[in-house]
A and B are shown apart, each in its own frame.
Chain A
Amino acid sequence: MPSKSDPPARSPSRLSLAPISDARVTGVLVGADADPVSVSFESLSRHLEMPEHLDGFIAVLLPALLRTDAAVHVSGTLTREAVRNLIEFSEGWENWNSGRYHALRLSADRVIDPPLPAFSRRAAFAWSGSLRSTHTLVRHHARRVPGAVGVARIVHVIGLQGDARTVSTDAIAAEVNKHAERLGATVECVVTNAREVGLVEAEMGMLPVVAAALHLTAADLKLGFHARRWPFSAQLRYPRPDPAFPDLFCGSRMLIRADGGVTTPTQMVREILEYAPFLLTAISGCSERPRFTPPCGVCSGCVITSLAFAAAGISHHALPPPAALDVARLQWSDPVVAAEATEIASDWSNPGSRAHLALRRRVKSDQTNTTRVEVRRWLASASGLGPIWPR
């Protein structure tokens, strides 16, 4: 049996809140034999209050906890739903990669168990500026999804992509405000040091940080949305991006819901063009530079964005039209990139351009390669020369 039922090997880490200073809310994790980790959140538009519970802070600290002893005691309050969900999240990661992650043992001074909030008519939306998160925002704003909720607040977390120290946070906030105010929602830009202190785990993505920001800034709304970071088609590839979790960042006081993943990037651009064209200039998939600043233009995120725009028949304001060379640069080993590129290739408004043909050739070669790899692995496995196929 894995460590899930074993007693903790050493005394648990402790998470507590530090007093608010410089308008920052800070959680401090003190481990038995590790340096303390201090993670803070600051809103650029208001003073954050001390939270009633620490559901968000425990979420953001998960990557650190799961890599180490995974036992933590919270000096404060957690909600019962968050406790259950985050334990499940940790069990899922241990099941995914038992050599790297350990299931969480979680306790708190106080665990409250109120009924979960009902689905509200208005919600906070996390907006990173990516095509996916912009589409989630727009499809709810324009009531394009059955059961859509109103966009009451937009939350942007600064400091997750690129080096935010090179740009003024006020300048980023001004850009976010400029675009978002036309949706009639209030904007909350949140600055965090989560990435600087090593709490962003590439395999887990930004969601724990975003969930923490939503818990801290949108408790009054009781409902927060974020976009899925992958299309569902990426889950059908081998290898796949990560474990497909349900909404495990929900607590008993607030629901954090994932949205999207079924629309092709091309269709996302079309719908944004139709319902909120003023947001098109905000879109960036760049992984190298902070969002709401000029994109690098060369990373896979930029190439996918530029391809999606070209496929929808428009050009991106800050990216050159994609060329065959850009297609060749795509990191096909990343299942999300490969799945998005495949979706774009099959949904191109005016087929036949050089970029489209290059993309189609790349998709075709990917499919051929997949078949070839399968056959090669099978032959190696059947002849005893390779590991058993498929895993």
Chain B
Amino acid sequence: MDSRTQEFLEYVQSGGQVETGDWLPDEYRSRLIKFIEMHGNSELMGVLPERDWILRAPTLQRKLALTAKIQDEVGHAQLIYRVVEDLGKPRAACLDDLVSGKAKFHNVFHYPTKTWGDVGVIAWLVDAAAIVSQKALLKCSYAPYARIMKKICWEESFHILHGRDVILAMVTGTQEQFELVQEALDRWWEPLMHFHGNLIPADEDPMYVWRIKSQANEDARQQFLDGYVPQIRELGLEVPDPALRKDEATDRWVYTEPDWERLRAVVTGHGPASQDRIDFRRRSREHVEWVERLLLAEAA
């Protein structure tokens, strides 16, 4: 590593932040683009599981709330792609890579939603898992990204409340409604445990080394479990992992280790809904291409 890069590394490791116009080492820039791009892709793909339910939501209020949540997520994607563009990768290239399967998005968006219970579990627990990671990103060494994370975290907090409200309505309803939630939780637990990534120690994780992430994967997972296992259990729901418990000696959660190969398969496009979702994105992009062309022509 040359001395300028070494200096940069020491600067970010001691809490320093950088702006778009600053000199950035090539490795830092490319890792940053990949990380932020994946986040943008995830926001865009994340609307698809929920979009399916707008017409099927049980009440008008839920339809409106779901629509507002989806609008927020697309808005986040736009904010995030804007940051990627300023780093040197045009939005069109990001979308090309997304629909070709070359770029990744979070594991949780590769799964189908089977019932309204899924919609509640996603808005409550998947968004909660995401907000743990997103709070850590408020300290990202790349300041433009850290700044948009403030707005994103603020809006995500409504999403979690909406999700929790959906779940609370169902667990205080009929036995059938309660079972819908439990069944959804049973299916979503594995993706949730995968969400924060594998057990790579912080000092071996390049994202942490460059202070793009400010937290180790396992610390994020522990934080999620600390916050949400009690919330799940107080409703009488069961976490579908009999090994899950908090170890008193270490003050850490102990659980059945997820299958990391399965996670790798999912995020490389082999999840149950991966191809459907990617195909949908590609088709909608083709359908609106004429609008983009028209706007750009008018502006020119």
A and B part of one assembly: no
